[in-house]
Every structure is written in C-alpha cells, then in structure tokens.
Structure 1
Amino acid sequence: MNTADEDRAIGEVVERLAKAFPNVGVDKVAQVVSDTRPEFADVPIRDFVPLFVERGAKQRLRELA
C-alpha cells in the first residue's frame, strides 16, 4: 500500500468511526485517529495499518463515549 492509498483508507476510517460514534463528533474522531496512527509508523508492511488504526481508535472512542 502506498502513502496515498493509506491516507485514503485512513480517511475512510474517520468516516466510519464518525458514523459509529456520532455523539463524539467528527473532529474528535479525526483527532483520535490521528493520535493513534503514529503507533504504527514503524510497521514495515503497511497494508494492515488502517485496520490497526481503526481498532485502536475505536477502543479509545468507546472510552470517550
């Protein structure tokens, strides 16, 4: 997965999580996703990074909701 594809996939993660957590707000969802993404910066195979970010962000958002 190249950087553009990963960025697009992360954008889709934000959209999905914003729908799943409407009470949190899209800006906060985007911030949580943005804060979660660097945890996977050193992962050599990038194909699953959006999935890992989504799972991590979802867990954090559940704690906020």
Structure 2
Amino acid sequence: MRALGDVVDRLAAKFPALPREHIEDVVQQEHSLLDKGRVRAFVPVLVEHAARERLSR
C-alpha cells in the first residue's frame, strides 16, 4: 500500500536515529491492528498517529 510507504517515509524523516526496519515493523504492526475495520479511509492516518506515539517513547 503506497500510503503506508509514505507513512514510513515521514516517520523515518522524523526519527532519523531509528533504523528504518524498526519503523517499518511498527507501522506494519499498527496497520494490522486497524486493518480489519469497516471504515478504511483513515487507516493510514490512524496508523501514522499510533506509530508516531510508539516511536516517541
């Protein structure tokens, strides 16, 4: 999904000290939690928000 690739790119720019693979894993984990919902339009935004929160810790 192109939108998730964009999310990874933005988070990698925001957290340059973290390995890209780690950011990709967090984004994938967050996506898997939200992927089963009925409303899919905002999934990338929600994934980015949740991943940013986890990476900020």
TM-score (norm 2): 0.93
RMSD value, Cα: 0.8
* Paired positions, count: 57
- AA matched with 2:32: P
Percent identical pairs in the alignment equals 37
Superposed structure 1 runs of 4+ greater than 3 Å apart: none
Q: Does 1:28 align with 2:22?
A: yes
Q: Aligned ranges for residues 1-65 of structure 1 at < 5 Å?
A: 7-63=1-57
Tell me, which stretches of 5 or more residues in structure 1 are unaligned? 1-6
Larger radius of gyration: 1
CA distance in 2, matches of 1:8, 1:45: 18
Counterpart of 1:12 in 2: which secondary structure? helix
Tell me, which stretches of 5 or more residues in structure 2 are unaligned? none
